[in-house]
Structure 1
Amino acid sequence: MTAVIGTKDHPWKLKTPPQTSEYEMYKDEKDGKEILVCTVGKTVLHYDYRCIEDLRQMLAAHGDWIELGSADEQKPAKEGTVEAWGRSPDNPIGGWYGLKKGFRGRFGMYIPPLMEQLGLAEVEHNPRNNRMRAK
């Protein structure tokens, strides 16, 4: 029997879009809500699990490449990027998909490789200014 990937015991092993850093993600539940747990070194981030399907739908509606634009929570996100959408009051949840105060950013860095792994999106792997699109 093969292990289910994406669990705490068998997390997805991913690399950032530029392929410079490795991190892990898995699906969990916190306070009755499905979340993604993202572990980068000793830093643990949480994202609303809905972001996968919501981002897939946004990419499909957009229909073309969109810049990732990753940024820390404390920094403004570049308009028109995946990062800006991931914190916009106009997205399906009306704000941040990141759930841990102070660590709600970096949506455009850590969610796109998971989408690529799941076969839902294409992601560029350049040193900078990467983009993604629906598959």
Structure 2
Amino acid sequence: MSAEQGTKQHPWQLKTPPGTSAYEMYKDEKDGKEIIVCTVGKTVLHYDYRCIADLHDMLKQHGDWIELGSADEQKPAKEGTVEAWARSSENPIAGWYGLKKGFRGRFGMYVPPLMEALGLAEVEHNPRNNRMRAL
């Protein structure tokens, strides 16, 4: 990863854990808050930038593999997954890391590959039911 990667001009080029879809992410600011902009085709999602450090801390405390459990906002997240943690009132921000109403889900699909690219986590790349753990 180059030092300038992760900007709007040089976004991280990523693939979903199964490797089936390409997307890009970059760090930006909106309303005075650091965010991650995730562009998947024509869909744009926003995640609170703190999710990177917070997820890494949670993974280190968990100490083992944890299922990703990606789900759309409108669908319930499977308990004990990264997706459920990213929506939980028990996480460090006490709620959703996804910031765009209607598009707050899919955390477990799009954030783990960024964590892997940043050297913070190991992510499985199976057709389904992938897991991750801290490095």
Q: Report the TM-score range of the alignment, normalised by the length of the smaller protein.
A: over 0.9
**What amino acid maps onto 2:36 in structure 1?**
L
- Note if contact 1:112-1:121 (Cα within 8 Å) is conserved in structure 2: yes
What is the correspondence of 1:1-135 to structure 2 with a 5 Å cutoff?
4-135=4-135
Gaps of 5+ in 1: none
TM-score (norm 2): 0.98
Counterpart contact for 1:8–1:27, Cα < 8 Å? yes
**CA distance in structure 1 between the partners assigned to 2:68 and 2:4 by the alignment:** 28
Alignment length (residue pairs): 134
- What CA deviation, in whole Å up to 9, does each residue of 1:105-124 have, x standing for no partner? 00000000000000000000
**Residue identity matched to 2:95:** G
The Cα shift of 1:61 comes to: 0.1
Distance in 2 between the 1:49 and 1:38 partners?
11
Instruction: Tell me the percent identity.
Output: 85
The runs of at least 4 consecutive aligned structure 1 residues that moved more than 3 Å come to none
Name stretches of at least 5 consecutive residues in structure 2 with no aligned partner: none
Distance (Å, rounded) in 1 between the aligned partners of 2:38 and 2:16: 12
Residues of 2 paired with 1:12 and 1:50: CA distance?
17
Please tell me the residue identity of whatever aligns with 2:50.
R
For the residue of structure 1 that corresponds to 2:55, the secondary structure is helix
- Structure 1 distance, partners of 2:87, 2:113, is 18
Instruction: State the shift of 1:3 in Å.
Output: 6.4
